[in-house]
Amino acid sequence: MNDQLALPVGITLDRFIMRNEADFPFATGELSQLLRDIALAGKIVNRDINRGGLSDISGQFGSQNIQGEHQLKLDVIANIRFIRALKNGGEVCAIISEEDTELIPTGNNKAKYIVAIDPLDGSSNIDANVSVGTIFSIYRRVTPTGTVPTIGDALQKGDMQVAAGYILYGSSTMLVYTTGRGVNGFTYDYSLGEFFLSHPQIRTAPVGNIYSCNEGNMDDFPVAVQQYLHKCREQRLIGRYIGSLVGDFHRNLLKGGVYLYPATLKNPEGKLRLMYECFPLAYIVEQAGGAACDGKRRILDIMPDSMHQRAPLYIGSAKMVEDIYSLHFTHAS
């Protein structure tokens, strides 16, 4: 018999989640089910993306979201998919979405968890067949179970996340997540319809040789960032920028590097969303040995004051983020 035919298939996402339930003494399976619900919605969105050109669901939807950005059809579809899966799963009392203006109660008031989600990050790249992703955070509610959830349940510091992750829809589809005990990545097997553990205990390099930012905005960046980018070029680091946050972050997480989205003259508060992009990715990168700051402070220390708050973001290999922070500190003093 060919030895290749006898190779084990591997650990499925469901089995991995079940094996690790004991890490959460306060949970009785709800968090595990919630992660399964997110994975299921991700499979459906993955199918929608792959069929986009055939199903006439690419292109603009005809309206703008709360961020003032034109919504694409797949933005709307992905938002519906995840909200429906989370409501039907029964483990979430409320959702905040990058695509919606207000807190979304699910009617499951006895549920313990709140989810913050960017259903389809980087969707402007879909028509060019560039990788896009879903980013999510999970929090324990602060109001008593059984009561109607409030916006205060959602507006928690990033340090309060109990889980965070992303799904990357690309040449292969991956789900990467953490529950505060390391970062694990699962690759989707289309033939079996399952996510399998492919990247156990991901660790990012302390220093990488990749920097990722839109250098077209260089003249609008803070002086500290301009100096850092000049230093990167002097050291002959590799510039890599897709313009799809999940894709850029995922590459740098695996290979080592730093992603920069500074404040600019046009966007002095930054452009990335604190709740839907900065918090979950910062939680993931710290669990993998990296770091994330806004130039002044650690991202996970920020107390949000609104659902759609924005922030600058420097995230990736710890030493590279520390160098950016030091330059900001030097110029501020």
Give the residue numbers of the binding site for Mg(2+): 98, 118, 120-121, 277
How many whole angstroms separate alpha carbon 139 and alpha carbon 161? 5
Which residues lie closer than 8 Å to 91 by C-beta, 6 or more apart? 30, 31, 33, 34, 37, 108, 111, 112, 113
Contact (CB, 8 A) for 138 and 31: yes
Q: How far apart are CA 195 and CA 161, in angstroms?
A: 23
Residues that constitute the known binding site: 98, 118, 120-124, 214, 241, 259-261, 271, 277
Rounded distance, CA 56 to CA 37, Å?
Answer: 26
Q: Residues with Cβ < 8 Å from 22, sequence gap 6 or more?
A: none
Q: Please give the annotated binding residues for substrate, written as ranges.
A: 121-124, 214, 241, 259-261, 271
Enter the tokens of residue 26: 């306060």
Burial status of residue 102 (CB atoms within 10 A of its CB: 0-12, 13-18, 19 or more): exposed
